[in-house]
Amino acid sequence: MARELVPLLLFQSALLASVSSQQGTACDRPNLGPNIVVDLLQRYFQSGAELFLSCRQGYSPLSGPSSIVCNNRGEWTKTNLKCIPKRCPYPDEPPNGYVFYEDNLYQSTTNYTCHQGYVLHGVSSAECLHNGTWSAPPPECKSVQCDLAPIPRFGMIVYDKIISGNTTEYGLGGTYKCIPPYVVTGNARGECTADGTWTEPPECRPVTCPPPQPIRNGYMSDTSQREFAFTEAIKYGCNGDYTIDGSLEIVCQDTGEWSPQPVCMAPCTVGIQRGRILYNGRKIWIADFTPNRVYHRDIVSVYCMNEARKCGYAVPIQCINGKLKIPECYEEPGKLHYDLRSGSLPSEIKQC
């Protein structure tokens, strides 16, 4: 913007020449509107004197004319000249910051602040100058920086995103991990905070489990009576016809306890003397079922008689840890009946 206001000041043309000829008529100092200036050297002006008006620094002229003349009745000619304050451009909000202003007129101020986690580089306030420019450009809001995260002994941090260099930005987080058998004790999350420091890191403490307990009717892969470290595992198995229920392996957990032990479940004997069973889709005479043994959770059926309808039907039963309950409806035939008339047993006649 140009320095447009300075010049148009005073011009008193032909002032001295008219003094003698226009006797008796003179003008007082003119009464001018706000912010209008004129370079007044004297109290009285002869008729014909012309005054050039201008606006005070920081104000611009609006309408006119910009000069007045003292007429021969001793009055100044009229002017509609107004001086209005200059405007600065509307101030911009800095990236990651806020701008506060009430107005953009000459002499008004604008204030700047930064978002949390950002620091202000530059001015925190600026004024609208007489030439319609702000006294300073908007500041920059730069992100708060932290050093790299503090790392506990036997530990590490996995940042939420890849970082480059040896500083981290406000808001960046990470998850702490410890090298087994050490376990994170404290808050596993860390973060670069608004004051430029990292949150307190957790500790890495060693965790061990007591020697594992043997299981009944089973064995384990390691019987040494030592402490086991976090993440160490041992295997279990069951003797003979026992069936494992649960996980084959237990693991020392970060709590210092083992994961749940499995249990060895006993096989069952089918408790009938004379009759046929249905097992794995086959009908077998119990006398031919050797060894008489089904495993934990196995399902085996025995046959019952529907007396009313004279038909037979299979009743499934399940072996649960050595127990196989023969249903009430099952009737064990007498030896004679079984030997001579086995064809009339519920398993042999028409099925219901």
Residues near ligand NAG (CB under 6 A) are 1, 100-102, 109, 111, 125, 129, 131, 133, 147, 166
Q: How far is the CB of 109 from ligand NAG (least distance, A)?
A: 6
Q: Which residues contact 89 (CB under 8 A, 6 or more apart)?
A: 104, 134
Q: Which is nearer to ligand NAG, 101 or 313 (CB)?
A: 101
Rounded Cα gap, residues 347 and 198, in angstroms: 78
Rounded Cα gap, residues 228 and 162, in angstroms: 35
Instruction: Tell me how far CA of residue 97 lies from CA of 103, 123, 280, in angstroms.
Output: 19, 12, 76
Q: How far is the CB of 168 from ligand NAG (least distance, A)?
A: 11
Q: Which is nearer to ligand NAG, 114 or 238 (CB)?
A: 114
Q: Which is nearer to ligand NAG, 127 or 191 (CB)?
A: 127
Q: Which residues contact 280 (CB under 8 A, 6 or more apart)?
A: none
CB 47 within 8 A of CB 71: yes
Q: How far is the CB of 148 from ligand NAG (least distance, A)?
A: 8
Q: Which is nearer to ligand NAG, 28 or 147 (CB)?
A: 147
Q: Which is nearer to ligand NAG, 124 or 187 (CB)?
A: 124
Count Cβ atoms within 10 A of the Cβ of residue 348 and give its class: 0-12 exposed, 13-18 middle, 19 or more buried.
middle
Element (H, E) at 196: none
Q: How far is the CB of 89 from ligand NAG (least distance, A)?
A: 11
Q: Which is nearer to ligand NAG, 111 or 269 (CB)?
A: 111
Q: Which residues contact 32 (CB under 8 A, 6 or more apart)?
A: 38, 53
Q: How far is the CB of 156 from ligand NAG (least distance, A)?
A: 18
Strand-pairing partners, residue 238, are: 218
CB 136 within 8 A of CB 88: no
Q: How far is the CB of 23 from ligand NAG (least distance, A)?
A: 47
